[in-house]
Amino acid sequence: MDVLLKVNGTEHRLAVDVRTTLLDALRERLELTGTKKGCDLGQCGACTVLLDGMRVLSCFTLAVAAQEAEITTIEGLAGENKPLHPMQKAFLEQDAYQCGYCTPGQILSAIACVQEGHANSADQIREYMSGNLCRCAAYPKIVAAVQQAKLLMEGP
Amino acid sequence: MPDGNQTIIGQPAIRIDGRAKVTGMARYASDEVVANPAHAFLVTSAIARGRIRGFRLDAARAVPGILDILMHGNVGGEAEKPKPMSGGDTTTTLESDRVWHDGQIIAVVLAESFEAAREAAHKVEVDYEAEPPSATFGSPGVEEEVRKAGEHKDYKVGDAEASFAVAEVKVDARYGTPTQHHNPIELFTTTCEWRGGKLTVYEPSQFVYGLRGSLAKQLRMDPGDIHVVSRFVGGAFGSRGGITARTAWIAVAARRLNRPVRLVATRDQGFTIVTYRAETRHHIQLGATRDGRLTALRHEGWEVTSRPSEYNVSGTETTARVYACPNILTKVNIVHADRNTPGFMRAPPETPYMFPLEVAMDELAVALNMDPVELRRINDTQTDPATGKPYSSRSLMPCFDQAAERFGWKGRNPAPGTMRDGDWQVGWGCATAAYPANIGPAAARVTLTLEGKARVQIAAHDIGTGAYTVIAITAADRLGLEIGKVVVELGGSELPAAGLAAGSSHTAGICNAVAKACEGVRQRLAQAAVTSNDGPLAGQDPAKLTLSAGALRAPGGAAEDLPKALARVTTGVLEVYAENIPKGLPPESIGKVYQGQMAMSRGHSREDATTYTFGAQFVEVRVHALTREVRVPRAVGAFAAGTIVNPLTAHSQYMGGMIWGISAALHEATEIDPHAARYVNDNIAEYLMPVNADVRSIEVIMVPEQDAQVNPLGIKGIGEIGIVGMNAAISNAVWHATGRRIRDLPIRIEDLL
Ligand code: FES
Ligand code: FES
């Protein structure tokens, strides 16, 4: 069936199987492979994207159901040779990853976490970032990165 | 080689591949773009033992978009089974109608889309001839045998049985560790593409040459016709060390369809189509004098493996040499069950084997009424007790002292159950961590351009360890360049060979090879500069010239800028290839790596010395007085691992290892249905791993240590040691909090009721 997806400000018209997840549409059809598949079961958070600024699991969202929304993926935060989003910069500087596979999902989740107002303390960040598994276990540095970026995102 | 000024090695550096990772541009294997791929979905066996009588495929073949179904009957002869890196034989998949374990690959469905392949795979019906399977230790039908010496050996020093019998103080106990699965967040994927007779394989790998070599044998091809690409790996932890069965079948599928094929195996399939950490059992006997000196150490282990495999980790090779002891006896048994073949998982031998030793040491300290740190001090040694060889360096007690100080250990009341904070019983525990300093042969090519940039090519693997960056750091240090001037190419079998990224051997192996190639560059430049008639370095001793800050420099201050020095030897680029053969390995060992075989100098089997990394780990646990929930609010680890190339990523490695230890002690276990021999919690919601809210303060201390003997750069490796002492430290802390001695992992609420 035909769908219209608005991804990172660009409209894409494509024909998908009705069962196609937003995750597979992004990765397999639009070659936006920054969004990762870690379980396809809603358990890991690696596939997190923003739909109208809200974090959702793209493996648990059908492509047909994402048509009305503005979709933001990791590729939409900073273009090639463009300045990084404060959250990307914070992950880079804090070494808030190892293999980097969970990182796109962590970064989008972290941006939403700050915007939701759920980044007011280390404990709150830990709780509200617990939907994103990191098998490399960069958790303490992810908390530090969210704290660093929050200051820049919210301004003085 | 003359020492560079070493201003860059040892300084924290942000990952050179970091921008790619935070922008989504890093290409993991399944992100690589191939034209119009067909999608594969695996069909796996629903029984654990028996034979396949036949398939009923009408429903599957009726699915729109289906392209082909691979089974024993149509492709079984097109590939051979893979040869594991360790343990000899393994189970078959499509080569036979035999079922060796639950979840074995028995068919591969190919379709135009992932959705169609999945639907068709679910419609494949299988007729089995099932036999009752044996699941694990104690199941009827398992076969137990003593592990033969070969890959691993046993130790017999003095007379441990007689000394134990007469020991003044004794510990005699049995311990167990569970099945665990690596569960990297990146799934197990394979993409294959043929061009003419040449095959490209995109697959996350810890050993691209190993994958190429094995696949060539399996498909009866020339290895030169296979190209393996693995630029970024989404976590490995041992799971991507050896090739597994899926790869050859995806290659066969792509050849049959004459079209690229992509497999992204599901999370539950990842529990059975690759390896895992097998469950273990242990019997430990420690004898000691009343003043705490060990007089006897016996360690016997049991490990589960598959029916055909002799895989085992034999961690007694480490436990036999951690403490001074005149009488040592070790033995390892393997138990064959109807299971998939196990394999490497983070600190493969030490995680399950140091747990019982270090809990037993804590029990001994209690029996002696002695501080556990003091017990380690009394039995510390600079001589390997199993062989009598010296340790090249061993900083165990500096690690204990620094970690104890930071932790505040001296405030501990030694009596159990005496520290309390509201509803929480508080306990403190500690343990030793030890891991051999291993190193493999590797080759590297360094190319210097007239613009003063360097390119380093080496088939290394960055599994999250920071390999890209340590290579750039080493080259920058040795060539006198800024890190930003170095480009690193790794993760492909088109590059000079490097070995398996495992066993904490990789940084040592690859950085020494890169340093050697850089030394070749320096020698070429130095020779040309000193023999020139005009330059500022004419007539100098070439051995004394160094590259630093963009120039070739003599000790007295004379210098020539790099572009000028380079122009003396080339009008284009200067390219140097070098191979590094670690001490004790034969020159042909690099050839083995090119062929895809394991070649490694191991810390406990060197002629000249025993080379090990040591650490000390301290944890606080809190056990809720009513719910018995266990928490770890803080942990301190101190480690001495020789040269630390990049303290920023090293910190992440140690920290990640320590959290893995918390996870192993309190969360992780693959539950096995004893009748069906099937993994029950085969997903990452029910296979418990820590989330952010489970982790509190993790402090890492890097104890300075120089070791000129271990390898030229003095690197010991850090990826594994962070997990090693944590299991025991947590169990020991639980004892201190509650008085309960837990000898089986993981420690769960029900153990503390
Ligand atoms: S891939 Fe969506 S939650 Fe894991
Ligand atoms: S960085 Fe590897 S899973 Fe998070």
pLDDT, tens digit (0-9, with 9 covering 90-100), for B462-502: 999 999 999 999 999 999 999 999 999 999 999 999 999 99
Residue B1 has pLDDT above 80, yes or no: no
For residue B237, the chain A residues in CB contact (below 8 A) are 135
* Residue with tokens 């001695």, as numbered in its chain: B741
Instruction: Give the ipTM.
Output: 0.98
The sheet carrying B419-421 orders its strands as B419-421, B424-436, B612-624, B630-640, B697-702
Average pLDDT rounded to a whole number, residues B644-660: 98
Give pLDDT tens digits for A89-117: 999 999 999 999 999 999 999 999 999 99
Q: Alpha-carbon dihedral of residues A53, A57, A61, A66, nearest 10 degrees?
A: 20
Kindly list the catalytic residues of B: 720
Report how far Cα B420 is from the mean position of its chain's Cα atoms: 38
Average pLDDT rounded to a whole number, residues B224-232: 98
Give pLDDT tens digits for B696-726: 999 999 999 999 999 999 999 999 999 999 9
For domain B156-179+276-438+606-752, which CATH number applies: 3.30.365.10, 3.90.320.10, 3.40.50.720, 3.40.30.10? 3.30.365.10
Give the DSSP H/E element, type plus range, for residue B73: helix B72-75
| DSSP annotation string for B706-748 | --TTT-TT-B---TTHHHHTHHHHHHHHHHHHHS----BSSP-
Confirm or reject CATH 3.30.460.10 for domain A86-154, answering yes or no. no
Q: Which two tokens stand for residue B71?
A: 């089974």
Strand blocks (E) in B112-205: 125-130, 143-146, 156-157, 169-177, 189-195, 198-202
Percent of chain B having pLDDT more than 90?
98
Please state, in angstroms and rounded to a whole number, the distance separating the CA atoms of residues B733 and A21.
46
- Tell me what pLDDT residue B4 has: 44
For residue A78, the chain B residues in CB contact (below 8 A) are 23
Q: Is A38 in the pocket of ligand 1 (CB under 6 A)?
A: yes
| DSSP annotation string for B533-589 | SSSTTTTS-GGG-EEETTEEE-TTS-EEEHHHHHHTT-SS-EEEEEEE--TTS-TTH
Report the residue count for chain A: 156
For residue B187, the chain A residues in CB contact (below 8 A) are 37-40
Atom of ligand 2 nearest to the CA of A99: 2
Please state, in angstroms and rounded to a whole number, the distance separating the CA atoms of residues B166 and B150.
33
From the CA of A43, how far away is ligand 1's center (Å)? 5
Give the DSSP H/E element, type plus range, for residue B328: strand B328-336
Which residues make up the CATH 3.30.365.10 domain(s) of chain B?
A: 156-179+276-438+606-752, 441-488+499-594
Percent of chain B having pLDDT more than 70?
99
B32-131+185-235+240-271: which CATH topology?
Aldehyde Oxidoreductase; domain 3 (3.90.1170)
Say which CATH class A2-76 falls into. Answer: alpha beta
CB contact under 8 A, B267 and A126: no
CA distances from residue A42 to A31, A59, B208, B578, B643 in whole angstroms, order as listed: 21, 7, 31, 47, 41
Which residues make up the CATH 3.90.1170.50 domain(s) of chain B?
A: 32-131+185-235+240-271
Q: Which two tokens stand for residue B447?
A: 């190319």
Cβ count near B375 (within 10 Å): 21
- Tell me what pLDDT residue B642 has: 98
B441-488+499-594: which CATH topology?
Aldehyde Oxidoreductase; domain 4 (3.30.365)
Cβ count near A68 (within 10 Å): 9
CA nearest to B304, candidates B145, B484, B520: B145
- Tell me what pLDDT residue B216 has: 98
What are phi and psi for residue B145, nearest 5 degrees?
Answer: -145, 155
CB contact under 8 A, A88 and B22: yes
Name the average pLDDT for chain B.
97
Residue nearest (by alpha carbon) to ligand 1 atom 3 = A42
Residue B378 has pLDDT above 50, yes or no: yes
How would residue B242 be classed by pLDDT, with cut points 50, 70 and 90?
very high
CB B199 within 8 A of CB B34: no
* Contact partners, residue B405, CB within 8 Å, separation at least 6: none
Q: What would the 3-class secondary structure string for chain A be?
A: CEEEEEECCEEEEEECCCCCEHHHHHHHHCCCCCCCCCCCCCCCCCCEEEECCEEEEHHHCEHHHHCCCEEECHHHCCCCCCCCCHHHHHHHHHCCCCCCCCHHHHHHHHHHHHHCCCCCCHHHHHHHCCCCCCCCCCHHHHHHHHHHHHHHHHCC
Give the DSSP H/E element, type plus range, for residue B419: strand B419-421
Q: Is A131 in the pocket of ligand 1 (CB under 6 A)?
A: no
Please state, in angstroms and rounded to a whole number, the distance separating the CA atoms of residues B401 and B380.
13
CB B389 within 8 A of CB B609: yes
Please state, in angstroms and rounded to a whole number, the distance separating the CA atoms of residues B357 and B370.
17
Q: Beta partners for B428?
A: B620
Greatest pairwise CA separation for chain A in angstroms: 48
Please state, in angstroms and rounded to a whole number, the distance separating the CA atoms of residues B632 and B727.
12
Give the DSSP H/E element, type plus range, for residue B525: helix B506-531
Min Cα separation A156/chain B (Å): 25
CB contact under 8 A, B28 and A101: yes
How would residue B454 be classed by pLDDT, with cut points 50, 70 and 90?
very high
CA nearest to B361, candidates B288, B419, B410, B290: B288
Give pLDDT tens digits for B148-191: 999 999 999 999 999 999 999 999 999 999 999 999 999 999 99
Name the average pLDDT for chain A.
97
- Tell me what pLDDT residue B235 has: 97
Q: What would the 3-class secondary structure string for B105-119 be?
A: EEEEEEECCHHHHHH
Ligand nearest to the CA of A56: 1
Low-confidence ranges of chain A (pLDDT < 70): 156
Greatest pairwise CA separation for chain B in angstroms: 85
Residue B402 has pLDDT above 50, yes or no: yes
Residue B3 has pLDDT above 70, yes or no: no
CB contact under 8 A, A39 and B684: yes
Domain ranges, ordered by start, for chain A: 2-76, 86-154
**DSSP letter (8 states) at residue B185:** S
Ligand nearest to the CA of B690: 2
Q: Which two tokens stand for residue B41?
A: 């979905």
From the CA of B185, how far away is ligand 1's center (Å)? 9
CB contact under 8 A, B14 and A95: yes
Please state, in angstroms and rounded to a whole number, the distance separating the CA atoms of residues B434 and B666.
21
- Tell me what pLDDT residue B472 has: 98
Please state, in angstroms and rounded to a whole number, the distance separating the CA atoms of residues B361 and B373.
10
- Tell me what pLDDT residue B7 has: 78
Residue B197 has pLDDT above 70, yes or no: yes
Please state, in angstroms and rounded to a whole number, the distance separating the CA atoms of residues B81 and B69.
19
Q: Is A101 in the pocket of ligand 2 (CB under 6 A)?
A: yes
Q: What would the 3-class secondary structure string for B673-684 be?
A: ECCCCEECCCCC
CA nearest to B190, candidates B127, B267, B261: B261
Residue B447 has pLDDT above 70, yes or no: yes
